[in-house]
Structure formats: structure tokens, C-alpha cells
Chains A and B, each alone.
Chain A
Amino acid sequence: DAMVIQNPRYQVTQFGKPVTLSCSQTLNHNVMYWYQQKSSQAPKLLFHYYDKDFNNEADTPDNFQSRRPNTSFCFLDIRSPGLGDAAMYLCATSSPRDRGIDEQFFGPGTRLTVL
């Protein structure tokens, strides 16, 4: 089945130690998104790639970076995680160009703990 895959599902890191979260997709969608979801809150968009074009939300901290080496993969890098970065990180994809609609599909998420 076509899907959005995130690895790892659970990640524990230390305060200030860089961490990378991974997302891959078999849907061949051209847009990929990263969301942060803190406890009891709605998901919040951090940034997205439209093909190779990177688009950062205005309020996304500089501590968060992203890479998209090809259509299938996208990475979220947190350069110096703080305690406030503990959250669920959700990857999503959509393909408005090919499908004419912009329905987003989400991966299972990576739950990040910062010690």
C-alpha cells in the first residue's frame, strides 16, 4: 500500500544534542510537510517543500531545519533540542498538481523526548 513512513517512531535525545527525524513516502506526491504537535494541541506547520522549493513558516525557530534530497524522502533536523521541543512530529504529503486537490496524508509521527 502507498503510504507515508516515519522513522523512528520514538526518539529520545539529550538537551542540546542534534537529532534528525526521517520521513519517506511511496505516494509520489510533490509536496511534503513537517508539523509539530505538542500535548493537547493541534498540529502546527513548521515548513513544507513544494517539489524542491523550501517554504518556512514565519514563526518556525531557526533551530529547525529540513532537507529533501529527492521526491521520496524528507528530513527534519533539530540542531540543539531544548526541553520545549519535546513533541510529536508529523510528516504529511499532498499532490495538488497531479490530483487537482490538495488532500494531505499523514505519517504515524515521531514522538520526541528531550532529557
Chain B
Amino acid sequence: DVKVTQSSRYLVKRTGEKVFLECVQDMDHENMFWYRQDPGLGLRLIYFSYDVKMKEKGDIPEGYSVSREKKERFSLILESASTNQTSMYLCASTVSSGNYGYTFGSGTRLTVV
């Protein structure tokens, strides 16, 4: 089975901290994505990457950056965490054609206090 592993299930960080969320997939997928999920707002795309060192902004990139130095790893960085970034963060990956849907990780529930 394809696995997408997110490093933490729960995180609590302080306002202003720099936060790193890590995601690793084990099926050699080219495409990787970061979403946040909030009640009433659904899944919103933050950033995505089609290949190593490539990144594209999604719908809500403000306050975030990403890094993809290796094909299997896609990191989401909150440069200076704020309380409105409290959310469930989901990483996903898919093959380049995208025809088989995304495989999601289990999510990271981030609370910024």
C-alpha cells in the first residue's frame, strides 16, 4: 500500500514560532500537496509540488512556505505561526498523471496558542 506519513499527529506551538510540518511518501510519486482543513471551509490547497525543488502556490499560500529537496519529502513551513493557522494540515501525493486520486496522510492537528 502507498503510504504518506506525516511526522506529527498533534502539535502545540506558540505564536511567532517557526513551525515545520514534515511529510514523506514511499511510492515514488511526483506530485505532493499540502492542504488545510477547517470546519465549514473544507479542504483548501496551500502549496503543491510537481517535482524536486519545484513548488507552486495554491489558493491560500500566505504565511506559509514549502521545501522539496528530495522526491519523497515535502515540508510545510509556517514562518511565524499565528493563531489563525490553528487547523488540521493534510499532506497528499499522487502519480504525475493524477488519474488515481490522491493518497492522504493521517493529518497533523496544529494548535497555535
Partners in one complex: no
